[in-house]
Every structure is written in structure tokens, then in C-alpha cells.
Amino acid sequence: MKIALAQQNYHIGNFTANTNKIISAIEEARKQGADLVVFSELSICGYPPRDFLEFDDFINQCNASIDLIRAHTRDIGVIIGAPVRNPVKEGKDLFNGAWLLYQGEIKGIAHKTCLPTYDVFDEYRYFEPAWEWNVLEFKGRRIALTICEDIWALSENPLYRISPMEQLIGQHPDIMINISASPFDYDHDEDRKEVVRANVLKYHLPMVYCNCVGSQTEIVFDGGSLIYNATGELIREAKYFEEDFMLVDLDASATVTGAGDTERRQLDKDMRVSKISDPEKIISYLTAENNIRQIYAALVLGIRDYFSKMGFTKAILGSSGGIDSAVTLAIACDALGAENVRAILMPSQFSTSHSVDDAVQLSKNLGNPYDIIPIKPVFDAFMDSLKPVFGDLPFSVAEENIQSRTRGNLVMAIANKFGYILLNTSNKSELATGYGTLYGDMAGGLSVLGDVYKMQVFALARFINRDKEIIPENIITKPPSAELRPGQKDSDSLPEYELLDKVLYQYIERRQGPQDLISMGIEEALVNRVLKLVNSNEYKRNQFCPIIRVSSKAFGVGRRMPIVGKYLS
Amino acid sequence: MKIALAQQNYHIGNFTANTNKIISAIEEARKQGADLVVFSELSICGYPPRDFLEFDDFINQCNASIDLIRAHTRDIGVIIGAPVRNPVKEGKDLFNGAWLLYQGEIKGIAHKTCLPTYDVFDEYRYFEPAWEWNVLEFKGRRIALTICEDIWALSENPLYRISPMEQLIGQHPDIMINISASPFDYDHDEDRKEVVRANVLKYHLPMVYCNCVGSQTEIVFDGGSLIYNATGELIREAKYFEEDFMLVDLDASATVTGAGDTERRQLDKDMRVSKISDPEKIISYLTAENNIRQIYAALVLGIRDYFSKMGFTKAILGSSGGIDSAVTLAIACDALGAENVRAILMPSQFSTSHSVDDAVQLSKNLGNPYDIIPIKPVFDAFMDSLKPVFGDLPFSVAEENIQSRTRGNLVMAIANKFGYILLNTSNKSELATGYGTLYGDMAGGLSVLGDVYKMQVFALARFINRDKEIIPENIITKPPSAELRPGQKDSDSLPEYELLDKVLYQYIERRQGPQDLISMGIEEALVNRVLKLVNSNEYKRNQFCPIIRVSSKAFGVGRRMPIVGKYLS
């Protein structure tokens, strides 16, 4: 049997675009002689549709798309993802379904059993878990059809009490097909391969694993669909960060031998927290070239898809001569074209001349347009207006924030006037510690580096400069500074980034508590200071724009903390 | 048996404060001769603890609090809410538990079965549902102990496939005890009474129903704990929006008769969407005096608890002479004391003289401090600085936004200088349609009116003026305007609020689609225009501050929409 796999980039709720894309792939699969073509999870409506699923009208539109697609399946099977109305009154009103369409009919539907409800996932918010399991017959083959998370519960410490493959295996399937919407983080591709292979080795069946690709606001799907034969050999691996189309003849490649499952390691719950526990290895792990290269690709796709799906073409950002804005600018130019990214240099009275020179040189290297607008006149006007209220009180964080917000205002004004979208340049270490000004440098429509620690920003800069100097060396080597008061340096307010990022990674990605951190040899006062900074600045992050997610635990929708909480704060 | 019920206001993660408060109530119950004292759901750590639950350290602290409290139970039983570690490897690592403590020991734990995972609730994110059910014995009584949502699945259209009371009733309990964290919305108190009573009538058992009180960032818990005897008579009802303590002798009040369940109506799934479907009745429902009075009380508590739990005392806001800021100011003065609320009047060149006069009169009536800072000098400085970029382009929305952001900047500067928290004054109708400026009038730490439609804001103003004129009549009667260009009125950009709010309520609270709205007699062009405004402005609301929730569907954590989505937009 010839199976085609279509790894596609969908737009949530854009039924016309998604349906047309799906029908095109069906035509292509037919042309190439496929018996069956497989699409990813909830491909009909895009993943994650979130609360759109609560609208009856939205489900009706999903069903209308299924009807349109069905008409194209007279001589080819299609496996596709769409919500399914629950026919009984008990339980939630929907299932997350994998539909088998053929001969213009719905031949069968598998419901998802394991509903991820952690991190960025909210599936139990919408869906009832499956309570019955049936192998689907197609052209004499018996398909064990599952959806994404369904195949992830195979460790000795599973997140779910029921494993659908354990239910299906007794019905003697010939093949496993899994349709997924499995997002990127910088070592998730390895986890994914391991999980798919572990299933193949456990059940001695070939597996067709179809993932989607593309970015949906903050969540990047990296593709990398997989086809394994029954012996655990990887037959085909789709492209990462791009659409792809693959065709395999399973009869030619599926040779069952007595492979064991000895290589299977502890998965499941452990996979949901990052795995690097040795504090000495954290920075080298975070900045490893393989991770940085993937992060770069994810950020480019994240920017590009945000703009194309929102209908925007042009970006703007504040370019300070510092490393965060330099890296953001370089990535944005790659994603959107340098001519579509406008840099605004807004020196203050405390900016060094180097800052402007470096930022100018950066834009010359990249070839993007830039303007220089000093902020002192507006800052002075603010201070004059506030004189009756401020009196003779000394310069404080209020004046620093006025400068930062003046910049935010200037760049938003140009954005509003000409239709640019403001890219935010804050990094994860700053967001974690609240080292930023609301409505100032925290302004923006999309955060490029908000899930990238400062040490990783340095590594990204080196990666960007790998062939030639794009980011001026001085930007990389000078001490980080917000330049909001004379001689200011980040290290006046924060621990050195190498130390800070270690603590943050342990706390944020690995959910280690204060005692764990102290027992790793980190000074107690530092632990308490950093954890208090993280928790007491939740209110700032709560108003922050979407962050392109590249780690296993990004700020934003995947990390939900109380604001009025009084824990470690 | 004498049962005490402690309706308390907890602070999430503040174990010291919560434990002390709980121990005080145990002492009081002992003094009053109670056999048993009942506390609300997750009272140990406060509800909702969100992702704090993912930290082992947090669970350890919960257990340490349980140990402290246990020592106070030698001669009195305590039923209390706290997370419970799941002893088996399968499934999530925690249960949501109701603990029976007595004689210094843990006598039993009931696990929650029905885990609300919709709107503001995320319980399946953290908890495994119960899979076994046991009546707990205490002093010869058999207690059917359940947690909040567990008693809500009794309709013919239940959200859950298993009802724990159906499991427990076969074990012949004598009494039902339910510990809850059931939030306020403006007709939820009636639903709650109906559900509790329906259980009493169905199972012919008395019910002690303990709710918490207090606001946790955006979610207001309104208390109103209930005690019913087995015949369905309400024996005691605790205060709303306040802490309370009640003691009943159940033997004196529990007379079982053959009450039927004929009055039970369709509950469950229907209760999760608002019930007013007749478009003609929506505005009178939204502005009904009973609802407005409750909303007012919830907003006062929401502000007061946000400030006290964050450790703040003083608020600031921009007072424009319009109705939204007037109502916000009046409520804030009630919540925090007029002397702690500073109003900043920031007229533009387009403001009418009435606006300043009205705002001054309002602050005189309330007795709160105020300052007047015209924005023209700063606005002119912005325009001068932007001249090289803007050239001679005509006045547009960019210039309107500069004025709004200048105001946001000025008021934030004063807030930062003196330690005020900025209260946001945007209403739900504006937020729904994106009629506001990011970082300008959308700035603030807490939104007071973000879940209150414009028509309800008018009703709140009338309510505030019920005894004497606090809000000057002119503020209520003049046409709403942002005053950002000459002669501007809201109605230039938006439908009349009476019509707009009807459409918004049907779409937001009732999830009606375009066809439903059109079939209600609303013009198609208007439907499409309003729905597109709502959906295409998700990116703005995504950066908005927490909104005190008063309706069954507020913007914020309880409504999760894709930003890059292309649905009705």
C-alpha cells in the first residue's frame, strides 16, 4: 500500500485556505498513485483553535469543510483531523477526531484518548476522552489510528491511565498511523523520534507519523514527520520548519524482525520537564550549536508566519546598539526581508556615542532602513509637565521609565502612522526578573527573544556572525546596559547572566524549589533574590505580548501563575 | 452533631496567613462547641493556585500546613481542602482533596471527581479525577464528602460521565458536605442555590456547602455558603462578599420528609452559558438593579483584595470627565478610601471645558485628591520629534494614539514616583471592539470595568447616585467621547451602545454565531462588522491587565482565543 503524508502549514479558522491546501495535496497524492493520504491533527481548522471550539458555528464550518473534502476521496483514502460532535449527552460536547474518508464517505472516526492539558495545551477544556477503540479497515489493512499524545503514554510513569494502543493492539492492526500537532522546542524533535520508535519497537508495527508545520502566534510547529518500518528503522523524515510531502510504499519497506524494546528509556512525565539537571552543564546545553541553530530557524518561522497570517508585511523596532535589539533585527531581516524592517535609533542623554554608531553600522550591514530620533526633547517636556507634581524629588526609576516609555511611544507612533508592527526585543532573562518597563521596552506586537535566555542571545549573535560580521563585534562584547542613567549597567541590578540563567533554567524549565537550588551549590541569598524577582514580576509578564516559544517552558500561555500569589515572593 | 462552617478569604501561596486564619476558626468552633468545622476547597493554599501546583516545594508546603493544623484537631474534626499526591504512577501526580482531620490524624481523604476545565478553570491541568469513592465515618455519622463541581453534574446533559454522589449514595450516607471555591458572576448565586437544593431533594440528605470569599486577581469569590436540611429547607446562608462563620446543630434541623425532585430544572451544560436569549430582554437583564448592586459589591471587593494582597494602598487614575473614569473613581474611593485615590485630569486641546469642570466637581464630591496636567506641551514635543518622519501627512489615528499614550505616560510616571497603582477605566464594550489605545488608555495594573458593558456602566452611575449626586449629572448625560480630535464622538466609530451591547452579549456570553444573530433580527452588516471588530482585536486584549470578573464570560483567563486566527475576521 502506498501512503502519502502531507505536512502542511494551516491558518487557524481560515477554512477556505486550509481546505484548498488539503484538496491540493489530495490531488498530488492521487497523481503519485497513493492509496491513502494522511494529514495532521485538527488540520481542518488549524491547531490550536482554542475557544473557537465553543462556537457551534465554528464546528458547523469544520463539518462543511469535511463535506467539501469528502467529494475528493472517491478513489483515494484520506485521514484528516477535525472535531467530532459527541453523540451522547454525557461528557463534553466534542471529541478530537481522526477521520477516515474514502469513496466520498466517512468510513470511520478515531477519537483522541490522551488529551494534553499542561503547558500550552488545553484539550480537556474542549474534548471528551475516547472511551472505545476500534481498528479501522482500509483496503484490507487494519489501521491503528491515534492522535498525537495518544502514543506518548508508554513509560512506567504515564500521565494517563489508559493507553489507546494497548486497547487497539488486541485487534491485530497491521499499521499505526498517528496524526499530530506536536510543537517545537529545542530538544523536542529528539523526544518525538524516541517516542515514535519506542511505539514501533513495542508493537512491532510500522508507523506513519504526520505532524503539521508553521507558527500559530506563539507556538511553532516544526514538522519533521516520520515514517518507520516495523523493525524500528526510520524510512523517511520530513523537512523541519517547512511544508513537505512524502510518499512511501509500505510493502516495500516493512520487514518485521524480532526487534526488542530494550532501548526504550523513561519517557512521559519526565519529558514534560527539561532534562539537564547538572548546573555545570546548563549553559553549555542552552548555547549548544545544534540548539541555537534550531532556535534561529524557529524564530524566523515564528516572525514570518505571524506577519503573513495577520496580514502584515512590515516590522519596526527600537535599535539601541545593544545585543538584544541587534539579534532581533538580524532575525527579522531574515524573516521579512531587510527592506521591510525599519530600525529606530532613539538615543537618550545617557547613551554613549558608541551605541548610535554600533546601531548604524548594524543597519548598514543588514541593509535595512533606519532613523535617528533623540528622546531628550520629549523627555524634557514630560519633566516640565510633571514639575508641579514631582517638585524637587531626585532622579529615580520613574525618570528611567519615562525615557523607556518615550521610546515606546515614538516607535508606536511611527508604527501606527505607516502600518508597521512593533517587534519586541526583550529577552527571557529580563522578562523573568522584571528588568524592563511596561509600555516602554516591553511594548510590541510579538516578542522574538522572550523565550531566549541572555546567554543564548549571545550565542545567537555568534551564530548570525558565523560567516561574516553582521552584528558589530562591539555590540557583542560591551557590557549590557539600558542606558537610562549615567554609567548604568545591567550588572548593577542583576546577577551576572551566566549565573542568573542557570538559576532561572532550574526554576522555570525544571520547577526546582529553593531547597533544590541551594543543594546544587547556589548561594541561598541569590536563590531567594532571583525567585522573588521572578514571582513578584508576574504582573508585568501578564501584560506582555505573545512570545515565540522555543523552550519546553516559555512565559505566556504555557506558564500560568497567580498574580496576587504570595509564594517565594 | 454541631457543625461549624468557616467562610474565609485566603491568599494564594501565603501559607502562614492561611494557616493562622484556619487555626483561629478551629479555636472559635471549639469554643462554640462544634463537633466538626468545615473549610472551603484548597483552603490551605488558596484557590486557584495555578502552576504553583507544578512545584514539589509548593506541595511540600501544603503538607507542612496540614501538619500544623492537624495538631489542633485532637478534640474537634476538621474538613479542609488541599492537594493530595497521587500514590500510583499512572495519571497526573495530584488529586484535588478534601481532608478529614481528627484526633491529630488524617482520618480520610476524598478526591474530586469532576474537574472543571472551562472558562477560568484549569483543574485537569493539575489533577487526576477520583476513581474510587468512600463515605467517611465521623462520630457515628457517614459523610458523603465532595468538592465543588462534584455536585454540579446532575442534569440530563451533564458535563461529566461520572457523578460522585451516585457512587456514594449506595453507601448510605447521613449527610452531604461539599467544600467549594465557586466564583461570583451576577446570577451565579441563584444557580448555586438551585444546584445545592437539587442535590438535597434528589438524595434526601442535609447538605453543608462551604464556599470561600475574596478576590484572587481577577476572580471574585462571593461566599454565600449554604446549609440545607434534608427536606430542602435553607437553614443558614452565609454573608456575601464577606467572611463569615456559622454553627448549626444538624440534629435540631434535619427532618427528613418525602420531598420530591420535581422542581429540578435543566442544569449543568446550560448553566455554563448565560441564559437570556431574547434580544429584547438583554439590556434590562444586564442593567437590572439586583445585578448592578452585586456587580458594585464585587468590584469594591475586587479592588480592595487586589491592593491588600499585593501590598499596595494607593491608586491613581486618569479622570477624563467621562462616565467610565467617573464610575471607576467612585468605586475605587469606596474600596480604598477617597484619600488614597488620586485623580489626574489630563485635558487635550480637543477637550471641552465641561470635561475638566465635570471631573473637578466629581473629585470634590468624592473628596479625593486630584491634579490637572494639560497634555499639549508633551504632545507638541512628540510631534516636533516625529516631524522628520511624519512630514506633512495629515492628522490620523497615530496622533490620537500619541495623545492617549502621553496620558498613559504621565499617569504612570506619577504612579512610579509615588508608589500608586494605576486603575484602568476601559469598559467591556470598548475592549470588545478594540476601541482603545494600547499603552495609552489601555494601560493599568487592574481593570475595574473591563467586564462591565457600557450600558451597565450607566446603570452603575445611577446606582452610585441613588442617594445623592456623586457623579455629576452632566457626566452621565453627555454623549461619550474620547476627545482625541475635534468634535469626536464614540458613535462616529461604533454602533449605539444599546444595540452594540446586545450583539456583544449574544456573541460573548452566549457564543451565538452570525446566523443565530441574524435570525434574531439583527442586521447582517452590523453583525459582521461587530464580530469582526471583536475577533480582530484579540491582540489588544491579550496585552491587557487583569479584569475583575463579574459576568459568566469575561475577557482574560476565562476566554482564550487565537490571535492569528482568521475566523469571522
| Residue B253: predicted pLDDT | 64
Nearest CA-CA distance, residue B466 and chain A, Å? 33
Burial of A413 (0-12, 13-18, 19+ CB in 10 A): buried
- The secondary structure element, H or E, covering residue B222 is strand B219-222
Q: Which residues of B446-477 are buried (b: 16+ CB within 10 A; e: fewer)?
A: bbbbbbbbbbbbbbbbebbbeeeebbbeebbe
- Residue B256 above 60 pLDDT? no
Any idea which of A333-347, A477-491, B25-39, B410-424 has the lowest mean pLDDT?
A: A477-491
Beta B94-102 vs B77-85: how paired, if at all? antiparallel
Backbone angles phi, psi at A407, to 5 degrees: -60, -45
What's the average model confidence in pLDDT over A196-210?
Answer: 96
CB contact under 8 A, B159 and A545: no
Mean residue pLDDT of chain B comes to 95
Locate the domains of chain A by residue range: 2-272, 281-494+537-541
Greatest Cα pair distance in chain A: 86
CA distance B40 to B182: 10
Write the residue in A386, A414, A511 that is nearest to B413 by C-beta.
A386
pLDDT in tens, A171-185: 999 999 999 999 999
Q: Is A281 one of the catalytic residues? A: no
Q: What is the pLDDT of residue B273?
A: 79
pLDDT at A260 over 60: no
Q: What percent of chain A has pLDDT over 90?
A: 89
Task: Compute CA distances A384 → A379, B350, B416, whole Å.
Answer: 9, 21, 17
Question: Do strands B175-179 and B207-210 pair parallel, antiparallel, or not at all (unpaired)?
Answer: parallel
Mean pLDDT of all residues in B55-71: 98
Question: Is the alpha carbon torsion for A102, A108, A114, A116 positive or negative?
Answer: positive
B375 contacts on A by Cβ (under 8 Å): 385
Tell me if B239 is assigned to a ligand binding site. no
As a whole number of Å, the end-to-end CA separation of chain A is 60
Taking a C-beta distance cutoff of 8 angstroms, is the pair A550, A450 a contact?
no
Q: Which one is predicted more confidently, A342 or B352?
A: A342
Determine the pLDDT at residue A278.
86
Pairwise CB contact (< 8 Å): B401 & A416: yes
Residue B20 reports pLDDT greater than 70: yes
Query: Which residues in A lie closer than 8 A to residue B532 (C-beta atoms)?
Result: none
- Residue A387, exposed/middle/buried by CB under 10 A (0-12, 13-18, 19+)? exposed
Average pLDDT of the segment spanning B24-45:
98
What is the pLDDT at residue A267? Answer: 57
Burial tier of A219 (Cβ tally within 10 Å: 0-12, 13-18, 19+): buried
Q: Which of B324, B326, B366 is nearest to B451 (CA)?
A: B324
Among B62, B148, B210, B333, the one annotated catalytic: B148
B404 is in an annotated binding site: no
Return the exposure string of A425-446: e unless at least 16 CB atoms fall within 10 Å of the residue's CB, then b: bbbbbbbbbbbbbbbbbbbbbb
Evaluate if residue B347 carries a pLDDT over 90: yes
Residues 194-233 of B with CB under 8 A from A: 215-217
Fold of A281-494+537-541: Rossmann fold (3.40.50)
Question: Rounded to whole angstroms, how far apart are CA atoms B427 and B439?
Answer: 16
Taking alpha carbons only, the member of A488, A482, A531, A487 closest to residue A506 is A531
The SS3 assignment for A224 reads coil
Give Cα A7 to chain centroid, integer Å.
Answer: 17
Residue where the block lists cell 526583550: A426
ipTM of predicted assembly, 2 dp: 0.96
Q: Are A315 and A414 in contact (CB under 8 A)?
A: no
B122-178 tens-digit pLDDT: 999 999 999 999 999 999 999 999 999 999 988 888 999 999 999 999 999 999 999
Model confidence at A259: pLDDT above 50: no
Contact flag B567-A13 (C-beta cutoff 8 Å):
yes
The whole-chain average pLDDT of chain A stands at 95
| Residue range B298-339, pLDDT digits in tens | 999 999 999 999 999 999 999 999 999 999 999 999 999 999
Q: How far, rounded to the nearest angstrom, does the alpha carbon of residue B211 sit from its chain's CA centroid?
A: 14
Residue-wise pLDDT for A280-325, tens only, equals: 899 999 999 999 999 999 999 999 999 999 999 999 999 999 999 9
User: Within 13 Å of residue B336, how many CA atoms lie on the same side as its CB?
Assistant: 29
Q: Which of A410, A535, A567, A569 to mutate to test the interface with B (most CBs of B within 10 A)?
A: A567
Residue with cell 551576572: A496
Residue A265 scores a pLDDT above 70: no
Best B387, B563, B569 residue to mutate vs chain A (most A CBs within 10 Å): B563
Express each pLDDT in A2-36 by its tens digit: 999 999 999 999 999 999 999 999 999 999 999 99
pLDDT tens for A417-436 read 999 999 999 999 999 999 99
The SS3 assignment for A323 reads: helix
- Residues contributing to the annotated binding site of A: 118, 182, 318-325, 401, 425, 430, 540
Assess whether pLDDT exceeds 90 at residue B279.
Answer: no
Q: Could you give the strand order of the β-sheet that contains B207-210, starting from the edge strand earlier in sequence? A: B136-138, B141-147, B175-179, B207-210, B226-228, B234-237
Residues of chain A with pLDDT > 70, as a percent, come to: 97
Chain B contacts of A122, Cβ < 8 Å? 117, 122, 125, 560
Instruction: Give yes or no on whether A2-272 and A281-494+537-541 have one common fold.
Output: no
Which CATH class name applies to B279-494+537-541? Answer: alpha beta
3-state secondary structure of B154: coil
Mean pLDDT of A502-529: 96
Q: Residue A41 catalytic?
A: yes
Q: What is d(CA A536, CA A11) in angstroms, rounded to the nearest whole number? A: 36
Q: Could you give phi then psi for residue A424, rounded to 5 degrees?
A: -85, 145
First to last CA, chain B: 60
Picking from B7, B91, B81, B84, the residue whose alpha carbon sits closest to that of residue B47 is: B81
- Determine the pLDDT at residue B270: 67
User: What does the alpha-carbon distance between residue B30 and residue A108 come to, in Å, rounded to a whole number?
Assistant: 62
CA distances from B473 to B331, B369, B468, B496 (A): 17, 21, 11, 20
Instruction: Determine the average pLDDT of the residues in A209-215.
Output: 98
For the residues B228-247, what does the mean pLDDT come to?
96
Return d(Cα B538, Cα B516) in angstroms, integer.
22
Q: Which CATH architecture has domain A2-272?
A: 4-Layer Sandwich (3.60)
For B169-220, write each residue's pLDDT tens digit. Answer: 999 999 999 999 999 999 888 889 999 999 999 999 999 999 999 999 999 9
pLDDT tens profile B469-493 = 999 999 999 988 888 888 888 888 8
Give me the amino acid identity at B356. V
pLDDT over threshold 50, residue A498: yes
- At residue A264 the predicted structure's pLDDT band, cuts being 50, 70 and 90, is very low
A560:B50 CB<8 A: yes
Quick one: pLDDT at residue B483?
A: 85
Test the B interface: residue of A406, A563, A568 with most B CBs within 10 Å? A563
Which one of the listed residues A41, A123, A218, A399 is annotated catalytic? Answer: A41
Kind and range of the H or E run holding A247 = strand A244-249
Adjacency order of strands within the sheet including B77-85: B105-111, B94-102, B77-85, B36-38, B2-7, B244-249
What residues does A144 pair with on adjacent strands?
Answer: A176
Rounded Cα distance between A312 and A306, Å, is 8
Partner-chain contact A443 B438, CB within 8 Å: yes
Chain B nearest CA to A26, separation (Å): 23
Give the range among A478-487, B111-120, B255-264, B405-414 with minimum mean pLDDT.
B255-264
The answer to whether B255 and B227 have CB atoms below 8 angstroms apart is no
Q: How confident is the model at residue B460 (pLDDT cuts 50, 70, 90)?
A: very high
- Could you write out the DSSP letters of every residue in B411-457? HHHHHHHHT-EEEE---HHHHHHT-S-TTTTT--SEESSTTS-HHHH
Catalytic annotation on A233?
Answer: no
> Are the Cβ atoms of A161 and B90 closer than 8 angstroms?
yes
- Dihedral (Cα; A71, A77, A82, A84), 10-degree rounding: 90
Give the helix ranges, DSSP H, for A424-552.
Answer: 428-433, 454-464, 473-477, 490-493, 497-508, 514-519, 524-536, 538-541
The neighbour count for residue A485, using CB atoms within 10 Å, is 17
